């Protein structure tokens, strides 16, 4: 199974888009996204220095645009991607790239949202000097205790051996001076305490914008940073994108879901290296590919073909006569008592729960519909994204948030 991932802020490097702009198609697409975002992305991706592209209001649109346009270079059409990719995920702002890639948002919607996200987070960061630092190594419980003692928030859980702390500059200094045993505290190239309460003003701005955005349900499996679950609903994903600005990034749980799904290959969109590096330490046996330059595209396409398995793809919202409800996570499925084939379900009806050692997650028929067929039985073990129930959409359950055709 193939996973496609998009990096978050801090992955950007001066000049990283320069080799891509030799392709006039890439240049034209980037120019269009520049017009949408109101930023000269070609300049920022080729000529701007490191300090300039560290600015949150610039870095975030630049990263999302780079991921979207390079994905179009890798997959010659969206249909190719939908047939070959088993799961998609993004780290922090990379979630906007991922959401657009699977059809939840259009590229234009993603660029407007990331432009406003970047501006709002930059403004929130300017209220008080804040930053982030990666804590490398050590025992997890000792690292978390030291972060809490310094008054910081564990903003990113990036798997074994790396937790990112966020808070005020003074709190970061306290952590550096009281680093846990066998750890290194490394300041990050970001301009604020992202994924903490310091971003509350940005959340308020995005909540208002989100009320005017029409979404579509994901075409293939999409993992979300809050809990690593497979997201079924476009509107749910949009609300999660808004809340994510203040919530910790649980990339460790996203990787757990990839492992549960049986991912064999992970390819990271430009500027690549951060997430594939984390995967090498945490997803043993999974082959990785960091796509950074266009001369790597032939090898990247071979990598995609080698790991693509049409049998693992799930068309969650692309069929004209029915819709799948899929499992959000790994565990044991327990069906809601009394549901039978032919029953008409209202929007948001709970069809059961998926339980594991960590949590018990309710499974909802978000858009409702009539039960056509159960794909599992009560108490069956299930994996993330596994179909549970097939529904027939009804007129009452059809609206602009759907992508069924």
Catalogue the active-site residues.
92, 195
Rounded to the nearest 10°, the torsion over CA 5, 39, 164, 210 is -80
| CA-based nearest residue to 86, from 230, 227, 228 | 230
| CA-based nearest residue to 163, from 295, 56, 146 | 146
Matching residue, tokens 């500027």: 271
Q: How far apart are CA 324 and CA 319, in angstroms?
A: 9
Q: Characterize the bridge pairing of strands 2-6 and 87-90.
A: parallel
399: tokens are: 């609206």
Neighbour-count burial of 302, counting CB atoms closer than 10 A to its CB (0-12 exposed, 13-18 middle, 19+ buried): exposed
Q: How far apart are CA 205 and CA 64, in angstroms?
A: 19
Q: How far apart are CA 239 and CA 203, in angstroms?
A: 10
For the chain, give percent helix, strand, coil, nearest 5: 40, 20, 40
Q: How far apart are CA 313 and CA 308, in angstroms?
A: 9
Query: What angle (nearest 5°) sits at the alpha carbon of residue 237, between those of residues 232 and 238?
Result: 145
Q: How far apart are CA 304 and CA 203, in angstroms?
A: 36
Query: What angle (nearest 5°) sits at the alpha carbon of residue 314, between those of residues 400 and 255?
Result: 105
Contact 351, 334 (CB under 8 A): no
Q: Is 157 left (phi over 0), alpha (psi -120 to 50) or beta?
A: beta
Count of C-beta atoms within a 10 Å radius of residue 73: 18
Neighbour-count burial of 24, counting CB atoms closer than 10 A to its CB (0-12 exposed, 13-18 middle, 19+ buried): exposed
Matching residue, tokens 């660029």: 111
Q: How far apart are CA 53 and CA 64, in angstroms?
A: 13
């Amino acid at each position: 199974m193939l996973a496609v991932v998009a990096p978050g802020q801090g992955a950007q490097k001066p000049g990283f888009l320069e080799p891509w702009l030799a392709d006039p198609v890439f240049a034209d697409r980037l120019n269009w996204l520049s017009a949408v975002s109101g930023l000269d992305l070609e300049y920022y991706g080729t000529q701007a220095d490191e300090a300039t592209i560290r600015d949150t209001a610039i870095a975030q649109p630049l990263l999302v645009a780079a991921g979207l346009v390079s994905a179009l270079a890798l997959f010659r059409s969206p249909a190719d991607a939908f047939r070959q990719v088993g799961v998609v995920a993004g780290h922090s702002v990379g979630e906007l790239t991922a959401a657009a890639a699977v059809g939840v948002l259009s590229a234009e919607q993603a660029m407007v949202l990331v432009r406003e996200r970047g501006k709002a987070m930059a403004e929130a960061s300017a209220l008080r000097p804040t930053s982030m630092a990666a804590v490398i190594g050590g025992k997890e419980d000792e690292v978390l205790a030291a972060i809490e003692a310094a008054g910081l928030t564990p903003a990113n859980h990036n798997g074994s051996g790396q937790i990112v702390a966020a808070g005020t500059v003074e709190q970061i200094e306290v952590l550096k001076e009281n680093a846990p045993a066998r750890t290194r505290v490394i300041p990050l190239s970001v301009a604020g305490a992202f994924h903490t309460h310091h971003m509350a003003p940005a959340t308020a701005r995005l909540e208002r914008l989100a009320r005017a955005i029409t979404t579509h349900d994901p075409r293939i499996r999409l993992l979300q940073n809050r809990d690593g679950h497979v997201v079924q609903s476009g509107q749910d994903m949009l609300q999660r994108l808004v809340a994510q600005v203040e919530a910790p990034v649980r990339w460790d749980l996203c990787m757990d879901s990839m492992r549960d799904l049986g991912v064999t290959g992970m390819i990271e969109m430009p500027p690549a290296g951060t997430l594939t590096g984390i995967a090498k330490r945490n997803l043993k046996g999974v082959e990785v590919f960091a796509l950074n330059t266009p001369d790597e595209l032939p090898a990247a396409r071979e990598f995609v073909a080698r790991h693509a398995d049409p049998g693992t793809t799930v068309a969650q919202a692309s069929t004209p006569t029915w819709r799948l409800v899929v499992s959000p996570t790994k565990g044991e499925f327990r069906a809601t008592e009394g549901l039978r084939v032919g029953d008409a379900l209202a929007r948001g009806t709970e069809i059961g729960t998926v339980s594991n050692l960590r949590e018990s997650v309710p499974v909802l028929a978000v858009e409702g519909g009539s039960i056509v067929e159960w794909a599992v039985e009560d108490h069956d073990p299930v994996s993330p994204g596994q179909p549970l129930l097939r529904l027939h959409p009804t007129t009452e359950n059809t609206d602009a948030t759907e992508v069924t055709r």
